[in-house]
Structures are given as structure tokens and as C-alpha cells.
Amino acid sequence: MTAQAEARRDPTRGVGPSGARAEPPIPASAGVGLKPAHYRDILEARPPVGWFEVHPENYMGAGGPPHRYLEAVRERYPLSLHGVGLSIGGAQPLDTAHLERLAALVRRYQPGLFSEHLAWSTHTTGFLNDLLPLPYNESTLAHVARHVSQVQECLGRTMLLENPATYLRFQDSSIAETEFLEELASRTGCGLLLDVNNAYVSAVNHGFDAADYLDRFPMEFVQEIHVAGHVRRLDDLDQPLLIDSHDTPVPDPVWILLERALKQCGPQPVLVEWDSDIPEWAVLMGQAERAQHTLERCHPAAYRHHANAC
Ligand SMILES: [Fe+2]
């Protein structure tokens, strides 16, 4: 293993001088979404991954094997929490019970980052198994900003908000998504999570240029990047329709967009998301290595000190 790889998997990170857990920042290196299918591979082989990310909703039970494994991973790697259930763009008030469960997880695991989606997924008492888009206008901007501030106040920390993959747009949207996100970050102090796969999926589905979207994205607020795979379908008019499925390797157009984004926002934590049809660990590790190489190719000076330490 190279010194560079060793530095990324430094097992002492996250443990304070007295053994008390600190809150290690998420490094500007490649991370991977943690899945139960890979717990043993990771704990036995200690692969040179910079950090892991989990959906907090999968760890809201009190104990049992999920927490045992997550505790063990958290002792060895920085951890990020990436929520999917807050429905922060929903019209109704936030679910305070869900928020409390989230706050308890944040206190327990002290993650380096917490992020959620600019989307909604609940209506009255119904839970929808999807992240749905919202109209971008002054009214929803003020509403989502209040929700973001409420979350940050409850958690006692800033959060990141992620650009969504979308399949439809609203006639009463009057603000570009990139401006909407920029204004949210400015008003609330939150950071942004740039998902370049989501940008590509939305661009193909709506017929705009993904590179242009990135050029307009408020990169000064970006603190994390996602890459993932998608599937290609045809809609009822035989036009291309991309589904943000997270069940394939990251396709070439997304790798190209990652390079473009990294050159604009500097070295950032880059997460490989893979949430369905989970592959063997070696396949996921290969994707993480490609993300790490992309980071190093875009910003050689930022990683040179690791190489010099060889
Ligand atoms: Fe994402």
C-alpha cells in the first residue's frame, strides 16, 4: 500500500486524545456509500477508502448488528450522514420525531458532514418512496430556507443540500435551480452537495446542457460531490429518459462532468453512490479508485505531499 493510500485510511482519525470521539472532517478524497453486504470486507481488509457515507434512516433503530458494524467502521474511518427522509422541500411542517431521531444519530456518531436533498417525499401521513421535485419560486425558497434553518438549529450544525435528479418541471418555477440553491446557501449558511450524476440525468431529461449547469452552479458553497450510475430508457415520445437508479458503474459522461466540477470547485470529498444491485466490494472499490485518480489528476499539487511521503 502506498503512503498516499495509508494516509487516507489512517485509523487514528476520529479518536481524540483521551479516546473520546472527535468529529473528523470528511477528507477531500474518494468515499463510498456503506452497505451491509460489504461490512465484513471493509472491517477485515481495511481498504484504503477515504471515508464512508450512510443513510441515517437505516440506523434509526436502537441497537443490534447495524449499529455494531457502523460503530466499528466509524472507529476506523470518517463518516458522513446522508438523509433521504426529512422531506425538507415538503409543504407540511418537518416531522419533529424524525428530526429528533436524526439528532440522536448525529450526537452518537459525530459525522463529518450531514446532507439532505432539495426534494420532498411526504404528504400528510403518506410516505412516498421517491425524492420529488418542487417549484422554484420565492414562496418555496422562503419555505425551504425555514426548514433548513430549523434542521441546522436542531442538529446544532450546518448541513449540505443536494441538487436533485428530476423528471418534470413546474410551470410556476421562476428561479433557476442553481440560483435557488445559491440563495438557499446564502440565506441559511448551509453548504451544497453537488451530485454530478443528478445534474446529467436532469440535463438529458429536460434537454439542457449539463456542462452549462455546472458552470452556473455556485461552486463556492460546494463541500461534497456525488457520482453514481443511472439507466437509460425511452419516454412515451421515444425521447431519452434517464432514471437516477444508482445500480450501475458511473458512466463516462458523469466522469467527464466530475472533472469539470473539480476543476471549478477545487479538491472535494467525492462519494461513489451505489444503492441497488449492490456489486462485489472489489467493483465498488474500483469505482472509488477511479474517483481518487480523477481528484489527483485535476489537482496534482494538492496530493503531491502524500506522494512525497512514499
Ligand atoms: Fe446523490
The confidence score (pLDDT) of residue 63 equals: 83
CA distance 217 to 215: 6
Please report the pLDDT score of residue 65 as a whole number: 92
**CA of residue 40 to ligand 1 center, whole Å:** 25
Q: What is the pLDDT of residues 264-301, one digit of tens each?
A: 999 999 999 999 999 999 999 999 999 999 999 999 99
Residues with CB under 5 A from ligand 1 (ion): 195, 226
Distance of CA 14 to the CA centre of its chain: 20
Low-confidence ranges of the chain (pLDDT < 50): 1-20, 309-310
Ligand 1 centre to CA of 164 (Å) is: 8
pLDDT at 134: 92
What residues does each domain of the chain span? 3-308
Report pLDDT for 131.
80
Element (H, E) at 114: strand 113-117
pLDDT computed for residue 90 by the predictor: 84
| Spatial CB neighbours of 35, under 8 Å, sequence gap ≥ 6 | 274, 275, 278
Q: Separation of 17 CA from ligand 1 center, angstroms?
A: 34
Residue 244: phi and psi, rounded to 5, are -75, 75
The number of beta carbons lying within 10 Å of the beta carbon of residue 200 is 26
User: Is the distance from CB of 91 to CB of 75 less than 8 angstroms?
Assistant: no
pLDDT tens digits, 119-133: 877 776 666 667 888
C-alpha angle 113/204/171, rounded to 5°?
A: 85
271 CA to middle of ligand 1, Å?
8
Distance from residue 309's CA to the centre of ligand 1 (Å): 33
For residue 143, the CA-to-ligand 1 centroid distance in Å is: 22
CA of 162 from ligand 1 middle (Å) equals: 7
Residue 171 Cα to ligand 1 midpoint, Å, equals 25
CA of 19 to the centre of ligand 1 (A): 33
Give the DSSP letter of residue 15.
B
Question: What is 3-308's CATH number?
Answer: 3.20.20.150
